Structure 1
Amino acid sequence: MCFRISFSSNMDVKTARPYFFGDIGNAECVKLVLAKGASLEAYDLYNGTPLHVACANQQLECVRVLLNAGAKVNAARLHETALHHAAKASNAEMIELLVEFGANVYAKDKHEKRPGDYTQPTSSSALLLQLYESGTKFKRIDGHFL
């Protein structure tokens, strides 16, 4: 896929749809597409931004690349943020990354639900979001919260 992106003479990455980023699933390809001028905030009604798509597809390294490139962590699609997608997937590592970049743990979607409302009550994702919501200072060492 990266080969086709880098050498395709008629591909206009500036107008690439958001789902294109998440479907790539390869952080190096995402870097290449961004270097060619693709928009971090490309948006469509069905998929949201590239960050939404990468989170929905659980592409952690692509999420990291998009955030480091300046993607808006709290961009919303029908009031749903990337953090909602990470919570629905119960992806604690992605939740941590998004919050580290400023994701709003209190953001409500069109159903008035916060990201934590989509987690299983006893999951590590739920615990993590509860800690963030409470403002508790903690460290994560070897997968354990201290």
Structure 2
Amino acid sequence: LHDEDIDDENDDQDDGDGDGDEDDDNDDDDDEGDEDDGASIIEAFFLFRYLGRPVSSARRSLSGSPRGPKDPPVPGQYLLVLETLLLQVSTALVWFSSSHNAPCVVVLQGHEVDALTIHQTTPLHEACLGGHGACARALLDAGANVNSRTLEGSTPLFYACAVGSVPCAEVLLQRGARPGGPLHLPSPLHEASSRGHAGCVEVLLTWGADVDQVLPGQGTALYSACLSQELLCVQQLLRDGADVQRGRGLESPLHAAAQTGHAPITRLLLEFDADVQALNAEHQRAVELAPPGGSTETLLLAHEVTPTSLSRKCRQVVRCSVGHSRLHLLPLLPLPAPLTRYLLHR
């Protein structure tokens, strides 16, 4: 009995000590809770951003059911991805900033400005994809690589042109972005042309993009614009000297416009002296591809029997002689203003 009394007394003392440490334990628990909350937010972000699925579905797909205390851990390869990406969490949080000033803070905090995701995407790529010119400028000021490429070969300029962000495209080009690139990689000019971003097309051509670059499987930017029925881009490309006959293989831009039945684009191509007699690989003229009985077919048939005027022939010769890279210099010639506008198709 005496031993039991001693044990009870010791237990009471331990309880007293425990009460004294309870506040410290609670503080530790609070700190751990904060860390857990932060980790949960970070994990949720990366599960959504880098695994490409909502958090709930990503977790369910990884473990078979929503994660709980007794659920098996996330597979090692995903933990490795999360661990690697957590090192750059401050940089990644650029995408959460509502004011888009986060890059400035990130740079000041000393984080890696060219932090890469598993897809080789940088913060500059994301800023351009979101069309945030000020954000892109801040990253470039901090030394971001203006010509970095993703795993698919896309540059920040490509992303800017994909969303039609002229401010992003301009700041990138001012900082040394290449307006063109190898034939096997995505082209900013083709992307802007096919998506109808005429402003980006104009900026790219001003900075020296090759208006007649032919990509395997895509052809020229003019062909892409005609196929996508983007009238303003077709107009911009033609005015800047795009070859009206060059498309994809034997398929001309006129073939593309005719098969889509887009009469305004077809008319514009004819104004720039597109050849209505040109044959594609199947030995078909553009009129044979136009929807039967439509306005495009009517337009092409009428043009076939209408002789080209001498003035239009002369304009074609002058523009070819000047070359598309020097067409912007035509206003500097001592010519009457109406003649200059005619030569420029204004």
The two structures have a TM-score, normalised by structure 2, of: 0.38
Give the drift of 1:119: 1.2
Select which of 29, 49, 66 maps to 2:220. 49
**Contact 2:195 / 2:228 at 8 angstroms: preserved in 1?**
no
Give the drift of 1:103: 0.2
Give the drift of 1:27: 1.4
Q: Distance in 2 between matches of 1:35 and 1:57?
A: 23
Q: Deviations over 1:66-93 (max 9, x none)?
A: 1010100011422000000100110111
Q: Distance in 2 between matches of 1:45 and 1:114?
A: 23
Give the drift of 1:28: 1.5
Residue 292 of structure 2 corresponds to 121
Matched positions, count: 137
What is the RMSD of the two structures over their aligned residues, measured on CA atoms? 1.7
User: Is residue 2:171 matched to residue 1:7?
Assistant: yes
Select which of 122, 135, 138 maps to 2:306. 135
Give the drift of 1:10: 5.4
User: Is residue 2:190 matched to residue 1:26?
Assistant: no
Any gaps of 5 or more consecutive residues in structure 1? 138-146
Where relative contact order (Cα < 8 A, 6+ residues apart) is larger, the structure is 1
Aligned pairs for 1:23-102 (under 5 A) are: 23-102=194-273
Give the drift of 1:7: 1.3
Report the AA paired with residue 86 of structure 1: A
The two structures have a TM-score, normalised by structure 1, of: 0.86
Report the AA paired with residue 81 of structure 1: S
Cα distance, 1:65–1:46 mapped onto 2, change above 3 Å: same
Select which of 84, 107, 110 maps to 2:281. 110
Q: Distance in 1 between matches of 2:169 and 2:213?
A: 17
The secondary structure found in structure 2 opposite 1:13 is coil
Give the drift of 1:25: 1.4
Q: Distance in 2 between matches of 1:58 and 1:11?
A: 28
Q: Distance in 1 between matches of 2:170 and 2:241?
A: 22
Q: Distance in 2 between matches of 1:76 and 1:105?
A: 14
Give the drift of 1:37: 0.9
**Contact 1:21 / 1:53 at 8 angstroms: preserved in 2?**
no
Of Structure 1 and Structure 2, which has the larger fraction of its residues in helix?
2
Cα distance, 1:13–1:24 mapped onto 2, change above 3 Å: farther
The secondary structure found in structure 2 opposite 1:47 is coil
Any gaps of 5 or more consecutive residues in structure 2? 1-164, 309-346
Give the drift of 1:46: 0.7
Q: Distance in 2 between matches of 1:31 and 1:102?
A: 22
Report the AA paired with residue 67 of structure 1: L
Answer with 91-100 or 3-12: which moved more: 3-12
Q: Distance in 2 between matches of 1:19 and 1:107?
A: 23
